[in-house]
Amino acid sequence: MYKEGTSFLAKIPKDNVQHQQSKPERDQRGAAFHEAGHIVVAWCLGLTVGGAQIAIGGDDAKGSAEIQSASHTDLVDQLAICAAGLEAQELFDALTHEGAGWGDYGKMVELLGHLEEEEQLRMMHRGHGRASDLVSTHRAKIERLALTLFDKKRLGAEEIARILAD
């Protein structure tokens, strides 16, 4: 769970389940929770979500999710969508490698590039806080979506919509 002043990339202790997994399983599980976090937070904010996949191109930790552009939403909500993948990974102890989330972090830096450094940090904290709140509130949906994505590796928009509707 996000706490202001903590690094969202900080490692947390891994549970016994994660220790028992192979590296490909660990990375795929992390990718599934990461993408599920993005999808559920975007859905909560009223954006249209499409399909998702993990284990892309032989990279077990690589995932993607089709999400409507958030450019018309509040900046904090845009940052929350970026941060949601890492927040979900942390909440579910589903970490992959240290580079996970760098693309999301890059998007946040891009969104905040026009601000002074102190304001950038304040806004990043707000975005992570918003993501953490939504991820925690919708924990059950994220878990159902992530476990289904982990199992199938690819989900279409219709299947994701059914999971989110439950």
> What is the per-residue DSSP string for 67-98?
E---TTS-HHHHHHHHHHHHHHHHHTT----T
**pLDDT value of residue 144:** 97
Q: Please state, rounded to an integer, the average pLDDT across all residues of the chain.
A: 88
Helix (H, G, I), strand (E, B) or coil at 52: strand
Q: What is the pLDDT of residues 78-137, one digit of tens each?
A: 999 999 999 999 999 998 877 777 889 999 999 999 999 999 999 999 999 999 999 999
**pLDDT value of residue 12:** 33
Q: What is the pLDDT of residues 56-82, one digit of tens each?
A: 998 899 999 999 999 999 999 999 999
- The helix (run of H) or strand (run of E) holding residue 4 is none
**pLDDT value of residue 6:** 39
> What mean pLDDT comes out for the span 26-50?
97
**pLDDT value of residue 7:** 36
Which residues, 6 or more positions from 74, have their beta carbon under 8 angstroms from its beta carbon? Answer: none
Residue 5 vs residues 118, 125, 127: alpha-carbon distances, Å: 13, 8, 13
Burial of 35 (0-12, 13-18, 19+ CB in 10 A): buried
**pLDDT value of residue 21:** 66
Residue 41 confidence (pLDDT) above 90: yes
**pLDDT value of residue 11:** 33
100 secondary structure, DSSP code: T
- CA-wise closest residue to 95 among 5, 2, 9: 9
C-alpha 161, offset from chain centre: 17
